Amino acid sequence: MSLTSESPVAVLCSGGDAPGMNAFLRAVVRLGLNRHQIPVYGIRDGYRGLVRAARQVDGDAEALYAMKQEIERNIGNRGLIDAQQSIIKMDHASVSGIMGKGGTILGSARCLDFHKPDVRREVIQLLDKLGVRALIISGGDGSLTGARLLAEESDLRIIGVPATIDNDLQFTEMSLGVDTAVHTLVWAVDHFIDTARSHRRVMVLETMGRESGDLARMAALASGAEMVITPEGGALTEARMRSLAEKIEGAMTRGRGHAIVLIAEGVKFEPAQKRNGAYILRDAFQSYFQREGAPFPDLEVRPSVLGHLQRGGHATPGDCILAARFAEEAWKALLNPKGINGITALRYNKVEIVPFGCPDLPERAVHSRAMDALHNDLASW
């Protein structure tokens, strides 16, 4: 089924927000209106907004009519101002001035209800009744699984777009938001270095990234942090923590005055621990540095869990450009008469569409290991 000016394309942001989502929305809307003359509906709050809208209509013809009226009446910023309106017909002005702005003007959410097939069925029926024939979904792993299920269970055209600071989607070299999050971490490390240097301290900083260490290792390489610990390196045992502490102490005896240690949130411990890794590592380091006869008994360790600041802030030019390239590829796929569904991906520096369930790029793991080795050689003292 080909898309026409009568069949709007809907776009949503799902899961944890990622910097660059706004640049992406702007590109989707502007390409739709300027290049393809196809209207774009923005869905508020990801899948949750779709579910809310489906429940609002709940098969009732009058409620459906009212929703259609609302969409046509409250266009663009008027619709965006009304937090109760789940589906908004986007216009040029509604995406004006948002290019680098962090977060997403449409809002995002994690929606557990969307795991239920009958809930997805209600959503598919609603989109059908609204004349929506295609959906562009930006988000991380869980959101793209939702996209795949919609593609399997309906005749909607579905394009997923990787957007997550975790960089844990291994079929693409980069996801939207990673570049900005690395930039933010470099900024954070710079601030911690100032105080670490003044007090001759060890700072243990915990980064996000779920099960992936990519965000931490990229930030370590870009900031010059002395040490990075990632889930891919295996669980941290007492013995491993001691040898890391020895390494830092060794650098101190060779004249180093401070150290920044990045630990990714996904790092596991043996035996398993409930507290944040940054605190566990602080305790292990601190007691090692204060052991009987230690050369630097005054060496203090301070932990910080960097948390959600990593998801905010002005998107970098790199993310804004990637957002535009992903949006362009998404439209190309939607307009392809062969009816392709899939996910936009950056592979070998080219943006292309890969099928849902596409295997990992083997180079990603190789590249991560090479980055670790490079960081190690650059940071060793």
Place of tokens 């360790």: 301
Q: Does 140 bind ligand F6P (CB under 6 A)?
A: yes
Residue 177 near residue 23 (C-beta atoms within 8 A):
no
Which one from 17, 45, 166, 214 is the annotated catalytic residue? 166
Q: Judged by CB under 6 A, which of 90, 137, 202, 208 binds ligand F6P?
A: 208
| 217 contributes a contact to ligand F6P by CB under 6 A | no
**Inter-residue contact 140 to 162 (CB < 8 Å):** yes
Shortest reach from residue 205's CB to ligand F6P, in Å: 14
Q: How far is the CB of 174 from ligand F6P (least distance, A)?
A: 15
- Contact call for residue 303 and ligand F6P (CB under 6 A): no
Under a CB-based contact definition with an 8 Å cutoff, are residues 2 and 337 in contact? yes
CB atoms within 10 A of CB 284: 20
* Interaction of residue 209 with ligand F6P, rule CB under 6 A: yes
* Start-to-end C-alpha separation, the chain: 62
Active-site annotation holds for 166: yes
Q: Count the residues of the shown chain that bind ligand F6P, applying the rule CB under 6 A.
A: 10
Q: Among the candidate windows 66-74, 98-106, 206-214, 276-284, which touches ligand F6P by CB under 6 A? A: 206-214
Question: Closest distance between ligand F6P and the C-beta of residue 16, in Å?
Answer: 3
Residue type at position 49:
G
Smallest distance from the beta carbon of 241 to ligand F6P, in angstroms? 22
State the Cα–Cα distance between residues 28 and 339, nearest whole angstrom.
18
Q: How far is the CB of 299 from ligand F6P (least distance, A)?
A: 30
Spell out the alpha helix ranges (H) of 8-140.
21-30, 46-57, 61-73, 77-81, 117-129
Round to whole Å and give the CA distance between 213 and 209: 6
Over the window 226 to 265, marking each residue x when it contacts ligand F6P by CB under 6 A and - when it does not, the resulting string is ---------------------------------------x
List the one residue from 10, 11, 16, 324 that touches ligand F6P (CB under 6 A).
Answer: 16
The verdict on 164 binding ligand F6P (CB under 6 A) reads yes
Give whichever of 89 and 210 is closer to ligand F6P, judged by the CB atom: 210
Distances (CA, A) of 71 to 62, 132, 285, 379: 14, 13, 58, 55
Distance CA 32, CA 26 (A): 10
- Short-list 167, 163, 109, CA closest to 139: 163
**Rounded to the nearest whole angstrom, what is the least distance from the CB of residue 109 to ligand F6P in the complex?**
9
Residue 24 beta carbon to ligand F6P: minimum distance, rounded to whole angstroms: 16
**52 binds ligand F6P, rule: CB under 6 A:** no
The answer to the question of residue 166 lying near ligand F6P (CB under 6 A) is yes
Does the protein bind ligand F6P through residue 210 (CB under 6 A)? yes
How near is the Cβ of 68 to ligand F6P at its closest, in Å?
33
3-state helix vs strand vs coil in the chain, percent to 5: 50, 15, 35
In whole angstroms, what separates CA 294 from the centre of its chain? 42
Among 242, 257, 346, 338, which residue's Cα sits nearest to residue 296? 257
The answer to whether residues 85 and 66 touch, using CB atoms and an 8 Å cutoff, is no
**Helices 277-289 + 238-253 axis angle, to 10:** 60
Alpha carbon distance 255, 252 (integer Å): 5
Question: In this chain, which stretch among 56-64, 158-166, 269-277, 321-329 interacts with ligand F6P, using CB under 6 A?
Answer: 158-166
CB 351 within 8 A of CB 197: no
Asked whether position 165 contacts ligand F6P by CB under 6 A, the answer is yes
Residue with nearest beta carbon to ligand F6P: 208
311 binds ligand F6P (CB under 6 A): yes
Q: Where are the beta strands (DSSP E) in 70-122?
A: 87-89
List the x/- string, 259-298, binding to ligand F6P by CB under 6 A.
------x---------------------------------
**Cβ nearer to ligand F6P, comparing 40 with 109:** 109
Active-site residues: which are they?
166
Contact residues: ligand F6P, CB under 6 A: 16, 140, 164-166, 208-210, 265, 311
